[in-house]
Amino acid sequence: MNLRDRPRRLRTDGVRPLVSETRLDATDLIAPVFVDATTDERVPIETMPGHERVPVDEAVARVEEIRETGVEAVMLFGIPNAKDEYGSRAWAEDGVVQEATRRVKAETDTYVITDVCLCEYTSHGHCGLVEPEAEENPRLTVQNDETLDLLAKTAVSHADAGADMVAPSAMTDGMVRAIREGLDESGFSDVPIMSYAAKYESAFYGPFRDAADGAPAFGDRRHYQMDPANAREAMREVKLDVEEGADVLMVKPALPYLDIVRDVREAFDHPVAAYNVSGEYAMLHAAADKGWLNLEETAVESLLSIKRAGADLILTYFAEDVAESL
């Protein structure tokens, strides 16, 4: 055979890494940290092997463990010591995320991002104030405009505690504008917003709700999170967040929505983030426990696919393990 083009020439060990098109680095990764105000010791999360809820007193130690792997950024999630229908512990000065942020920023040089939502803090588990009779009427859901002020107050309280970036995830219309205005008016115009700009109502969130104790007490989130069938709608959502002042654009989940990651990357010049969510993490662990997959290899390949699709940043529960292997 007289083949001029032989792609295998560039697959030998010496040249293969030189022509690799996609690079994964520890600095691409953000590690989630769950801080629990209701416990004095670390509590393993059964549906997310290798992860724990940590008490506030352990927040710095947990972040330092992450930093040792080369990961430089964390996302803080909080489990409060009390809940009410408004989620008022979300913006409390002595709230769990606020206190953890102060300690982590005082004792480390970690880049701290905070999740801005109310689902972990409300007694009903929804991401904002619910409409009257929502528990009895499945057509009712979160009150959009009334929730915006609470999200803005929460974001400002995080910035006041020292958060480097805030990440609103409630999928309420206008949340980026409300938070941007709140931050600017409070003197935090330099704090960027990483918006969960395209967040789908996904079945892949299950283990996270165990981790953050944020499952809805009734109903679901289909009235404010996106329909998994929709792609064009995602672009509309992202465009609105850009116009409202989002600095980084998040797609959640990652693996089932790589087409959305690619679409956002091609349409916008902003940094693009993708959330490799708890279900994506748990299913690889479950298959590896059965001996069906190699956990380390599939984890790295999964994150490479997210990076290849166009994500600049990846929020992932594999952050530590993958960073150590790179």
Residues with a known catalytic role = 199, 252
CB neighbours (10 Å) of residue 89? 24
Binding site listing for 5-aminolevulinate: 209, 221, 278, 317
Supply the DSSP string of 265-314, one letter for each residue. HHH--S-EEEEE-HHHHHHHHHHHHTTSS-HHHHHHHHHHHHHHHT-SEE
Q: Rounded to whole angstroms, how far apart are CA atoms 54 and 57?
A: 8
> Would you list which residues are annotated within the binding site?
117, 119, 127, 209, 221, 237, 278, 317
- Nearest CA to 248 out of 233, 263, 264, 232 is that of 264
Q: Which residues are annotated as a binding site for Zn(2+)?
A: 117, 119, 127
